[in-house]
Structure 1
Amino acid sequence: MSVVPLGPEHCDALLRFFRDLPDGDRTFIKEEVTDPATVRAWTTGGNRWVAVDGDTVQGYVAVLRLPGWSDHVGEVRLVVAPAARGNGLGRVLARHALVAGVEAGLTKLVVEVVAEQGAALALFSAIGFSGEALLRDHIRDREGRLRDLMVLAHHVGETWSGMDTVGVADELGEPG
């Protein structure tokens, strides 16, 4: 399996990936990921990658720079196929996003996680993200239930020692 930049050649496989996700997983994705035009548009913007195994997409990650006065901040979006969860792929993709964000000059990365997603919270906490906000009853799932949303943040300058601890400094070629 390899992590590669999202390109036009991945559109059909990425659409299959998103269509095959359980409805509950798609509930918490901001974009209409089963729309071919949406996915095609992503191939021209950069800062999006897929984990591919042959012709199959097993994961997706993006680092989206926020606009205007928050242009030093990048939002991480990460999705792993249910069959590929629990084997470290999410961690590989999250670390990839962290490295890409630092290389892009971002000083803060954020990720939004539904409060009940314990594995995602643990994954991002392990690579230096910490809780920044709890938004109660902020999102509604497909059954109409309100859910809490957690915003986790990674302040690059403040947590470099944490990045060194998890090996990200080595990936960037920086001294620890």
Structure 2
Amino acid sequence: MLKKRYPKTITLNGKAVELSILTGDGNDEEVLTFSNSLPAHDLLFLSRDIQEPKVIAAWMQSIEDGDITSIVARVDGEVVGTTAIVTDKHSWSSHVGELRILVSPAARDIGLGRTLVQESFLLGLDLGLDKLTARMTIDQEAAVNVFEELGFKTEAMLRDHVKGRDGKKHDLLILSHDVEAVNSQMQAYGMDKAF
């Protein structure tokens, strides 16, 4: 299914955005350049600091190993957004994918974040996942709003769970979406997939 859907070019607010599946082969430098363009606060929801080359290398290896499926968004050949659906096929939660979305400040307010969440939802269906989760700091109101508008619900808030480079602690919000329920509902209406 992925090969049929990607790569593709969409237009958002007059900008041509190319979406493709990120491969772990040879993309380290462009992803590192992208991650270094992001404000540090935007990265607090991640388990690791993706502004470190070794963390990017581990991400690319996880793509190759099949533990992460990622989409990359480019404008004029430059990375402006990425997604990752992180799964662990050896855990008790192998039916759950953790969704991570990052959008460059230069590409915000054009609908790219919303588009990447929707595309990731499709990936979740393709991967046979029952549930998607997303984490973000509670003060990332625009991101929280996008996820909630797309059907994600708050499951938990962890107080003072992450600490920025400045030493300030932040609450971490965990949202989730029941992919299986949406897929079942669409099938009940005679549709193959939700999208």
TM-score (normalised: structure 1): 0.85
- Counterpart CA distance in 2 for 1:55 and 1:101 is 26
| Per-residue deviation, residues 30-82 of structure 1 (Å, max 9, x unmatched) | 22313334323433245011101232100010001134110000000110000
2:79 paired with 1:63: no
TM-score (normalised: structure 2): 0.77
| Per-residue deviation, residues 152-173 of structure 1 (Å, max 9, x unmatched) | 0001233459x96xxxx9xx85
- The residue number in structure 1 matching 2:55 is 38
- The residue number in structure 1 matching 2:21 is 5
Contact 1:128 1:159 in 2 (8 A): no
| Per-residue deviation, residues 100-156 of structure 1 (Å, max 9, x unmatched) | 011111001000011111101011111110001111111112221221111000012
2:128 paired with 1:105: yes
Contact 2:45 2:135 in 1 (8 A): no
Return the letter of the residue paired with 2:193: E
- Counterpart CA distance in 2 for 1:65 and 1:25 is 22
- What is the number of residues matched between the two proteins? 169
- The residue number in structure 2 matching 1:133 is 156
1:12-27 equivalences under 5 Å are: 12-27=29-44
1:72-151 equivalences under 5 Å are: 72-151=95-174
What's the offset of the Cα at 1:175?
7.1
Against the structure 1 CA distance between its residues 20 and 175, is the aligned structure 2 distance closer, same or farther, given a 3 Å change threshold? closer
Against the structure 1 CA distance between its residues 95 and 104, is the aligned structure 2 distance closer, same or farther, given a 3 Å change threshold? same
Contact 2:153 2:176 in 1 (8 A): yes
User: Secondary structure of 2:27's match?
Assistant: helix
- Counterpart CA distance in 1 for 2:41 and 2:157 is 21
Gap regions ≥5 residues in structure 1? none
2:193 paired with 1:174: yes
Using the aligned pairs only, state the percent identity.
Answer: 34
